[in-house]
Amino acid sequence: MLFRNRFLLLLALAALLAFVSLSLQFFHLIPVSAAKNGAGGKSRKRVMPNPVTEPPVMDPIYEALLYCNIPSVAERSMEGHAPHHFKLVSVHVFIRHGDRYPLYAIPKTKRPGIDCTLVANRKPYHPKLEGFVSHMSEGSGTSFESPLYSLPLYPNHPLCEMGELTQTGVVQHLRNGQLLRDIYLKKHELLPSNWSTDHLYLETTGKSRTLQSGLALLYGFLPDFDWKKIYFRHQPSALFCSGNCYCPVRNQYLEKEQRRQYLLRLKNSELERTYGEMAKIVNIPTKQLRAANPIDSLLCHFCHNISFPCTRNGCIDMEHFKVIKTHQIEDEKERREKKLYLGYALLGAHPILNQTISRMQRAAEGRKEEIFTLYSAHDVTLSPVLSALGLTEARFPRFAARLIFELWQNREKPSEHSIRILYNGVEVTFHTTFCQDHRKLSHKPMCPFENLVHFVQRDMFAALGGSSTSYYDACHREGV
Ligand SMILES: *[C@@H]1O[C@H](CO)[C@@H](O)[C@H](O)[C@H]1NC(C)=O
Ligand SMILES: *[C@@H]1O[C@H](CO)[C@@H](O)[C@H](O)[C@H]1NC(C)=O
Ligand SMILES: *[C@@H]1O[C@H](CO)[C@@H](O)[C@H](O)[C@H]1NC(C)=O
Per-residue model confidence as pLDDT tens digits over 346-382: 999 999 999 999 999 999 999 999 999 999 999 999 9
> 401, 394 in Cβ contact below 8 A?
no
DSSP letter for 110, please.
P
Task: Indicate which atom in ligand 3 lies nearest the CA of residue 241.
Answer: 14
Q: 422: part of which helix (H) or strand (E)?
A: strand 417-423
Q: What are phi and psi of 33, to 5 degrees?
A: -85, 10
Among protein residues, the one with the nearest Cα to ligand 3's atom 1 is: 354
Q: Does residue 196 line the site of ligand 2, with CB under 6 A? A: yes
**Which ligand neighbours the alpha carbon of 195 most closely?**
2
DSSP letter for 58, please.
T
Query: How many angstroms does the Cα of residue 454 sit away from the middle of ligand 2?
Result: 34
Residues with CB under 6 A from ligand 1: 26, 30, 32, 34, 46, 48, 305
The closest alpha carbon to 61, from 307, 298, 330, 321, belongs to 321
The closest alpha carbon to 103, from 296, 316, 301, 378, belongs to 296
Look at residue 47 in the predicted model and tell me its pLDDT.
53
Q: Does residue 192 line the site of ligand 2, with CB under 6 A? A: yes
DSSP E strands: which ranges in 206-264?
Answer: 232-235
The Cα-based distances of 284 to 288, 317, 448 in angstroms read 7, 17, 56
Helices (H), 365-463: 379-388, 438-441, 449-454, 460-462
Task: Indicate which atom in ligand 1 lies nearest the CA of residue 70.
Answer: 13
Among protein residues, the one with the nearest Cα to ligand 1's atom 4 is: 46
pTM for this structure? 0.88
Q: 286: part of which helix (H) or strand (E)?
A: helix 286-291
Look at residue 150 in the predicted model and tell me its pLDDT.
94
Query: How many angstroms does the Cα of residue 195 sit away from the middle of ligand 2?
Result: 8
Q: Does residue 77 line the site of ligand 3, with CB under 6 A? A: no
pLDDT (tens digit, 9 = 90+) per residue, 178-226?
999 999 999 999 999 999 999 999 999 999 999 999 999 999 999 999 9
Reduced to 3 states (helix: H, G, I; strand: E, B; else coil), residue 29 is: helix
Among protein residues, the one with the nearest Cα to ligand 3's atom 8 is: 354
pLDDT (tens digit, 9 = 90+) per residue, 215-261?
999 999 999 999 999 999 999 999 999 899 999 999 999 999 999 99
Domains, the chain:
2-68 (no CATH), 86-242+340-474 (3.40.50.1240), 248-338 (no CATH)
Q: Which residues are catalytic?
A: 97, 379
Look at residue 21 in the predicted model and tell me its pLDDT.
38
Task: Indicate which atom in ligand 3 lies nearest the CA of residue 471.
Answer: 13
The list of the chain residues with pLDDT below 70 reads 1-57, 479-480
Reduced to 3 states (helix: H, G, I; strand: E, B; else coil), residue 263 is: helix
Look at residue 416 in the predicted model and tell me its pLDDT.
97
Look at residue 292 in the predicted model and tell me its pLDDT.
96
Find the Cα–Cα–Cα–Cα dihedral 212, 213, 216, 220, rounded to 10°: -160
